[in-house]
Amino acid sequence: MAADRRATSRRCCARCGSTRCRRRHLPLSASARSTPRSTSVTDKLTPVIRNRIEPKGFVLLNWGHVGWTQVFTKKPVQTVDDLKKVKLYTSAGNDRMVQWFKSNGFEPRAMAMTDIMTGLTTGMIEGLPTPPLAALMFQWYRQTPYMLDIGLAPIVGASVITTKTWKTIPDADKPKLLAAADAVEQRLRVDVPKQDQSSIEMMAKQGLTVTKATGPEWRTELDSLGKTMRGEMVPADIYDLANKAREEFRRQRKPAGQ
């Protein structure tokens, strides 16, 4: 039973189909930063990811949408240069991410998630990218009273099960399991954006100041950051497929005559 629980709790990478990581950001450029667009991109990537992890011995059950990453800081951030001066939290053990931040002009500080509050209170870090719900739940916002509304990236995880365990499930029950998993995914797609918004409203009542990251400067920077992930943090084919899906979504949503 313990082995089965471990098998069903593994996470796969939304970018490359790797089972080594638990949570990732989808590789979307600035113009894809909305929940409908990100879910549309996820849907297009699903068959590719499923086919990529199956030879590694895993079956994809569903996606888990965690929310959009915003940036919470001790001081207000108005410009890209302001953000690049902030000592930003990044998770320990991911040297590639640290180097990616540095190569793009940021000041990353790697540490365990359990050390975030200590890092904030001691000044080791001055900000962190996180969904609003997490900032509220862990009370990080009390040390970072400014939120840059930037929609940096959607955080998407995946529930997978080992092929070995999957084969032990009666065939008659497999469709039921997949249907239940899909129901959870669809509910998260609806509930998580609402939870993020309500979290922002609750934190605002406690003194949180929200700054919008708008204008060409931010769009240019976000698009540039996305491109630097291609082939380094994200396999080139997955990155290209995600952007192709984004463009298709935009064309479908574009009003007639424009």
pLDDT at 18 over 50: no
Highest mean pLDDT among 2-6, 38-42, 147-151, 234-238: 147-151
Please determine, for residue 239, whether its predicted confidence score (pLDDT) is greater than 90: no
Q: Please check whether residue 147 is in contact with residue 208, taking contact to mean a CB–CB distance below 8 angstroms.
A: yes
CATH of domain 7-240: 3.40.190.170
Signed CA dihedral, 30, 31, 36, 37: sign only: negative
The mean pLDDT of the chain is 85
**In 55-173, where does DSSP find H-type helix?**
80-84, 95-103, 116-122, 132-137, 163-168
Q: Work out the pLDDT band at 34, boundaries 50, 70, 90.
A: low
- Report the distance separating Cα 82 and Cα 77, nearest Å: 5
Reported as a pLDDT band with limits 50, 70 and 90, residue 210 is very high
**Region 197-226: what's the mean pLDDT?**
93
For residues 89 and 49, is the Cβ–Cβ distance under 8 A? Answer: no
Does residue 182 carry a pLDDT above 70?
A: yes
pLDDT of residue 255: 58
Residue 37 pLDDT exceeds 50: yes
What is this structure's pTM?
Answer: 0.81
What is the C-alpha separation between 108 and 84, in angstroms, rounded? 9
Q: Are strands 146-149 and 70-73 parallel, antiparallel or unpaired?
A: antiparallel
pLDDT of residue 176: 98
CA torsion through residues 35, 41, 42, 44, sign:
positive
> Alpha-carbon distance 152 to 219, whole Å?
11
Q: What confidence category does residue 222 fall into, taking pLDDT thresholds of 50, 70 and 90?
A: confident
DSSP, res 169: S
The pLDDT, as a whole number, for residue 246 is: 78
Name the residue ranges covered by the structural domains of the chain. Answer: 7-240
pLDDT in tens, 136-181: 999 999 999 999 999 888 888 999 999 999 999 999 999 999 999 9
Mean pLDDT is lowest, of 11-20, 29-38, 139-148, for 11-20
Question: Vertex 239, ends 158 and 107: CA angle to 5°?
Answer: 85
- Which residues have a Cβ under 8 Å from the Cβ of 23 and sit 6 or more positions away? 11, 66, 155, 156, 157
The β-bridge relationship of strands 127-130 and 70-73 is antiparallel
Tokens of residue 217, six digits: 């400067």
